[in-house]
Structure 1
């Protein structure tokens, strides 16, 4: 008879955890919220000590011994077990040639991701070590996002390394007592949801359209492509100075930049996008030391008028501070307060510090370990077709993940051009009016227009207006052709309209074939 595990605690899920559980059950084949960190270890590695360090970490934090029970219960609950084992997987691939090693690592990561996690029965973290050569290893550390956010992973890596170091001397480090995640859940349950509902209803009043990036289709292929680029050190520093001048954060400056891009693309002065926030309440003692899932996604509304970029940034910062008190409110309830509901926004922006990366960098600078770590990478997937991640440093690093079934890679490349131009424009003159900010510089715009017209001239001249739209629809069917108070007409839709009009005119004898 199988012995049932002993239960230590039971409590509700946070709002974000509920959302992740919902999406996991809705599409069990999806790997949204599967987090996979990978890095190379160079030097002497004691795998037995590695396992003992992992065991100590699991014993220290309740969240790593938690199961998410959703079957045969009225409402899902997270159940903390007194004990739970996570066994380190070790695979020796040192006998393979370099090409075969790379292939093996890629396939291993893919299979690990494909395996996923059963939130009710599985330990929700897996750690594997692949031995590539003498004193060279590849570590793959996976977990479900429902356990913790990126900030927590930095805390975990720091403590894991401290435990590994101390065990080398036959002891455990003298850590401060853990603040359990349940403490945050209790805080969350005390919040006034009616007050939060009223705040978001007021904040989202009169939002009339989804501010989307141009899409080529409405059908996802389930395959993501990544585009990344870096803003120069000089421009990053000038953006920081601009933020200081506006009494704002660098995050708020980027939100203003992104809002303007969406406004210009959608020909509007009001844009909403999703923003992932840390979600750690400042009035909860020691919250910065807790490990669990605190993040939330909330809407950021960038509404501009006859004001300067600097004024816009300052106002957005004030609005952000007001929203902070209600940032715990679940996204599905926030969306319900708007007329657009779940179509309030279709992509998210994440301004993310990576503590894990910093811990690794400090490790490499210390002499306390017999190894160094490099090539750190964290791969994560959300349920959005597009996510924009900004990683601060001496230079801003920007990474755009997008579904190739929904978005054209060439269009995403234009987004980079737009962003670079607007950054150059606002640091040159932060006091310029929003209406004066263009997506492209005059020379670049002329070049693109010339190339576009060259493409047009390569085809035979259209003898009628309708045939022009037919040819144009064949080239770019989903490109906006006309904008009016009711929305946007694409070239495909305009072609269908002019075709119907031509038929009616011919029937009346007004037009010929």
Structure 2
């Protein structure tokens, strides 16, 4: 309790409430004092399995217990004593007041103060940073009023199509199971870092380039954009110690086939990252309002939190529950891509297939920086299908099944795009209409069941 009081007094965001009305504009109010709710549970009598189940259930229950935005603080803390020398610390908080960097900073600061107090020492005098979270808010407002920032994001949205999860990837209607899949790259990291060195950039840019390569294979649009998380922390001494929500997810523009090699692709991604950097504080809601609706359904985030003292904290024992408004979250951290979605948007099979695509791209990038970045990478299973049964002319199902399935899709989504050839796009209804015209012409010409007809058509 004492350690919490010390930390709360240091940080504005831990004494902040949010008011969407009641003032001339929405405001975050910083209070002079606030007390973080603290709950302590002694569960030493439970078995290890029972403690694990309780921790999962506690996190799930906390997620459903809402906060009152108008009452500070917007965080709760619980301690579960699991053994005489082991206790679990649980943070429940609203993402609007914190993010990963702030959370890990707060964790270690709280434990350092606690350790000192428990050993009878007074907390070390706190030297406040030269900037506050309010200065970050001011920087956001300045970006909102900046015409060059507005123009930059309008151009990105205008010239690049929003990339969405293919509708055909979804599972059964009404299914909302949380899904995750992984694509490890720790065994490839030496090659990926070598590629980063040749491109004179960071591992993050290499991983972002791999992400964009994979997503590019999911769309027919030559130029697209997708969500990438940026931080907007101020460039000032001590700004890394300011707690608060400094993140902004932005539409990252990409052009397919512009880079010939993996090195060129990484260099192009880094160049684009650098261009975005000076515009990164322009809030996503403002971009979406100007565009007339939601733009992003896929998010990429690179995480590298090194504040945690692993001699004190068992980071591998972390478990929690969280959510956001993005349909597919792709997180690069600790030597692997982690993909999170729900079965209503992406089936288990599709998510596993997507994870496999990430692995194939990463393997190619690590193997040869000068390799072809424009090729299509297929798994052994998919390659076998293409080069095996399909190449041999094997029949896939009965012909009437294909027709029946197509006509059923026409009935469900007649206006959806069915085929694309160059600039030509035909809906399911248009394809059916043209097919019927050809069929009636053939019938009028004398063709019937089991007739062999040679057909020459434009693509």
TM-score by length of 2: 0.83
Shift of 1:236: 1.1
Q: 1:120 is matched with which residue: 54, 70, 74?
A: 70
Task: Measure the CA separation in 1 of the matches of 2:343 and 2:425.
Answer: 22
Task: Measure the CA separation in 1 of the matches of 2:204 and 2:265.
Answer: 13
Q: Does the 8 A contact of 1:274 with 1:345 survive in 2?
A: yes
Shift of 1:203: 3.6
Shift of 1:121: 2.6
Q: 1:446 is matched with which residue: 379, 383, 387?
A: 383
1:189-204 residue pairs with structure 2 within 5 A?
189-191=141-143, 192-204=145-157
Task: Measure the CA separation in 2 of the matches of 1:101 and 1:488.
Answer: 57
Shift of 1:405: 0.6
Deviation string, structure 1 residues 288-333 (Cα, Å, up to 9, x no partner) = 2211111111111121326322122212212211211110001133
Q: Does the 8 A contact of 1:210 with 1:343 survive in 2?
A: no
1:352 aligns with 2:352: no
1:243 aligns with 2:180: no
Shift of 1:449: 4.1
Shift of 1:124: 0.9
Task: Measure the CA separation in 2 of the matches of 1:53 and 1:448.
Answer: 61
Which runs of 5 or more structure 2 residues have no equivalent in the other structure? 450-459
Deviation string, structure 1 residues 34-58 (Cα, Å, up to 9, x no partner) = xxxxxxxxxxxxxxxxx21111111
Q: Does the 8 A contact of 1:94 with 1:131 survive in 2?
A: yes
Give the 3-state SS of the residue equivalent to 1:169 in structure 2.
Answer: coil
| Aligned twin of 2:229 | 276
1:103-182 residue pairs with structure 2 within 5 A?
103-121=53-71, 123-167=73-117, 168-178=119-129, 179-182=131-134
| Aligned twin of 2:312 | 363
Deviation string, structure 1 residues 383-420 (Cα, Å, up to 9, x no partner) = 1111101014xxx2221110211111111111121111
Give the 3-state SS of the residue equivalent to 2:420 in structure 1.
Answer: strand
Shift of 1:157: 1.6
Give the 3-state SS of the residue equivalent to 2:96 in structure 1.
Answer: coil
Q: 2:432 is matched with which residue: 463, 485, 498?
A: 498
Give the 3-state SS of the residue equivalent to 1:334 in structure 2.
Answer: helix
Q: Does the 8 A contact of 2:59 with 2:321 survive in 1?
A: no
1:10-21 residue pairs with structure 2 within 5 A?
none
1:385 aligns with 2:327: yes
Task: Measure the CA separation in 2 of the matches of 1:413 and 1:489.
Answer: 30
1:475-486 residue pairs with structure 2 within 5 A?
482-485=419-422
Distance 1:186 1:272, change over 3 A: closer
| Aligned twin of 1:426 | 365
Aligned Cα RMSD in Å? 3.6
1:288 aligns with 2:240: yes
Q: Does the 8 A contact of 1:296 with 1:327 survive in 2?
A: yes
Deviation string, structure 1 residues 238-288 (Cα, Å, up to 9, x no partner) = 111111111122222122212121222223432311001121132x44322
Shift of 1:163: 0.5
1:218-257 residue pairs with structure 2 within 5 A?
223-233=177-187, 235-257=188-210
Distance 1:332 1:92, change over 3 A: same
Task: Measure the CA separation in 2 of the matches of 1:288 and 1:470.
Answer: 58
1:331 aligns with 2:268: no
Task: Measure the CA separation in 2 of the matches of 1:464 and 1:63.
Answer: 61
1:316 aligns with 2:308: no
Q: Does the 8 A contact of 1:269 with 1:305 survive in 2?
A: no
For these two proteins, the number of residue pairs brought into alignment is: 438
Give the 3-state SS of the residue equivalent to 1:359 in structure 2.
Answer: coil
TM-score by length of 1: 0.75
Distance 1:450 1:413, change over 3 A: farther
Give the 3-state SS of the residue equivalent to 1:361 in structure 2.
Answer: coil
Task: Measure the CA separation in 2 of the matches of 1:343 and 1:210.
Answer: 11
| Aligned twin of 1:23 | none
Shift of 1:487: 8.0
| Aligned twin of 1:83 | 33
Q: Does the 8 A contact of 2:20 with 2:27 survive in 1?
A: yes
Q: Does the 8 A contact of 2:227 with 2:296 survive in 1?
A: yes
Q: Does the 8 A contact of 1:212 with 1:262 survive in 2?
A: no
Which runs of 5 or more structure 1 residues have no equivalent in the other structure? 1-50, 365-371
Q: Does the 8 A contact of 1:506 with 1:512 survive in 2?
A: no
Shift of 1:97: 4.2
Task: Measure the CA separation in 2 of the matches of 1:241 and 1:460.
Answer: 47
Shift of 1:481: 6.0
Task: Measure the CA separation in 2 of the matches of 1:302 and 1:500.
Answer: 35
Task: Measure the CA separation in 1 of the matches of 2:73 and 2:390.
Answer: 58
